[in-house]
Amino acid sequence: MPPGRGGLADTICFPVNETQPATPSPATGSKQVEWFRTTYQRLVREVGKVIVGQHEVVEQVLATLFSGGNALLEGVPGLGKTLLIRTLGDAMDLRFSRIQFTPDLMPADITGTYIIQEDPSGHKEYRFMPGPIFANLILADEINRATPKTQSAMLEAMQERAVTVHGERRELPQPLFVLATQNPIEQEGTYPLPEAQLDRFMMKILVGFPDKDELIEIINRTTAGGEPRAEKVLSADEVLSMQALVREVPIAPHVVEYAVRLGVATHPDKAEAPSLVRRYVRYGASPRAVQAMVLAGKVRALTEGRYNVSFDDIRWAARPALRHRIILTFAAEADGVDPEQVIDELLAEVPPTSVA
CATH number at residue 270: 1.10.8.80
Same domain assignment for residues 270 and 323: yes
CATH code of the domain covering residue 63: 3.40.50.300
Same domain assignment for residues 303 and 354: yes
For the segment 67-103, what is each residue's pLDDT rounded down to a tens digit? 988 999 887 766 667 777 788 888 888 888 888 888 8
- Domain, as residue range, for 224: 50-229
Residue 149 inside a domain? The answer is yes
Same domain assignment for residues 296 and 200: no
Residue 208 inside a domain? The answer is yes
- Closest CA relative to residue 218, chosen from 87, 52, 86: 52
Same domain assignment for residues 201 and 332: no
> Is the whole-model pTM more than 0.85?
no
Q: Which residues pair with 116 in a beta bridge?
A: 126
What span, in angstroms and rounded, lies between the C-alpha atoms of 295 and 242?
A: 12
What span, in angstroms and rounded, lies between the C-alpha atoms of 233 and 42?
A: 7
Same domain assignment for residues 189 and 254: no
Same domain assignment for residues 209 and 255: no
Domain boundary residue, one of 173, 196, 229? 229
341 Cβ neighbours under 8 A, 6+ residues apart = 276
For the segment 306-340, what is each residue's pLDDT rounded down to a tens digit? 888 999 999 999 999 999 898 888 988 888 888 88
Category of 204 on φ-ψ map: left (φ > 0), alpha (ψ -120 to 50) or beta: beta
3-state secondary structure of 339: helix
Find which of 52-61, 149-158, 227-236, 281-290 is predicted with most confidence, using mean pLDDT: 281-290
Q: Give the least confident one: 49-63, 131-145, 214-228.
A: 214-228
Q: What's the chain's length in residues? A: 356
Statement: residue 3 has pLDDT above 80: no
Same domain assignment for residues 100 and 173: yes
What is the percent of the chain with per-residue pLDDT over 70, rounded to a whole number? 88
Statement: residue 15 has pLDDT above 60: no
Residue 255 binned pLDDT confidence (cut-offs 50, 70, 90): very high
